[in-house]
Amino acid sequence: MSLLTIGTMAFDDIQTPFGHAEKVIGGACTYITWSASYFTNSISVSSIVGHDFPDAEIEALKSRGADLSGVEVKMDGKTFFWAGKYHDNMNQRDTLATDLNVLDDFNPILPDSYKACKYIMLGNLTPAIQAQVLDQLDGSQKLIALDTMNFWMDIAMDELKKVIGRVDLLTINDEEARQLSGEYSLLSAAEKIHEMGPEYLIIKKGEHGAMLFHKGKIFYAPALPLALVKDPTGAGDTFAGGLMGYLAKTDDTSFENMKRAIIHGSAMASFCVEEFSIDKLKTLDEEKINARVQQFKTMTDFSL
């Protein structure tokens, strides 16, 4: 089934205890699309880049089967740029620079061929732009997923809640779930968030895994413990890409299949963090992915 991915394509400058990656490829949409491309080659991408974004990166995504006709190339502007530095524990980071550049003019006009995509992944963006994308869809969608962050809760909570009310699946982290709901217990937070609209909620907990909430049911997926985490940037987007790619491939939104989708998303995220930027995501294949998915099964399986 067809998947539409929307979000940023960017240059990142990333400092972690393991090195400094200068002006490397980043952006939510980039990670989402690379990750999803291992599950489906029917991906339509909506984003914006400047004159400085490498053609080779566009071609690399096209060679994965993605349709990039909805990616605007603004020749008089520069690509969105983000610089960040991770603390020693890798769980916290400081933003050193955010240059919106062409992102300031992002006005996604979907090509007609995009509007009937069955699976939609709205990457982290201003809620207004996420709503604008939803306005253009033809209403035939099977599952619309939205990712967001605390920044929008701080400055645009009302707008954010409106767009959350229009989607089927929300992915946020635990602190964001608490902020959005006003509840500390994730169980109570999930109840409140379901009332806002999404019947599926995924709470991401980084190195502690992810939890799926749906109609009173809970699934807890661990993260894979790794010997080396070089760069956590894009892990959440890679997770979302694997999840939505798997759903688009299998075209099954049952709770049981959603669990499998989360495990596949978690496996993709575990690859992502092992190298800077999208370096590791470019090197995968079905065999490597399946082997890692099996590790999740082995790690959580028990009989009573």
**Of 35, 250, 258, 244, which Cα lies nearest the Cα of 121?**
244
304: helix, strand or coil = coil
Q: Is 234 left (phi over 0), alpha (psi -120 to 50) or beta?
A: left
The sign one gets for the Cα dihedral 43, 150, 15, 203 is: negative
Residues that bind a second copy (rule: CB under 8 A) add up to a total of 34
Q: Is 157 in the site for a second copy (CB under 8 A)?
A: no
Q: x/- string (CB under 8 A) for a second copy, residues 66-105?
A: ----------------------xxx---------------
Single out the segment in contact with a second copy by CB under 8 A; choices: 20-28, 119-127, 143-151, 293-301. 293-301
Q: Which one, 87 or 282, has the nearer CB to a second copy? A: 87
Q: Is 20 in the site for a second copy (CB under 8 A)?
A: no
Bridge-based pairing of strands 3-6 and 43-50 is parallel
Residue 64 Cβ, how far from a second copy at the closest point, in Å?
24
How crowded is residue 276: how many other Cβ atoms within 10 Å of its Cβ?
22
Q: Is 299 in the site for a second copy (CB under 8 A)?
A: yes
Task: Give kind and range of the element (H or E) at residue 219.
Answer: strand 217-221
Q: Is 36 in the site for a second copy (CB under 8 A)?
A: no
In the block, residue with structure tokens 């379901």: 194
Binders of a second copy among 160-189, rule CB under 8 A? 184-188
- List residues binding a second copy (CB under 8 A): 88-90, 184-188, 205, 208-209, 211, 218-222, 225-229, 256, 259-260, 263, 293-294, 297, 299-300, 302-304
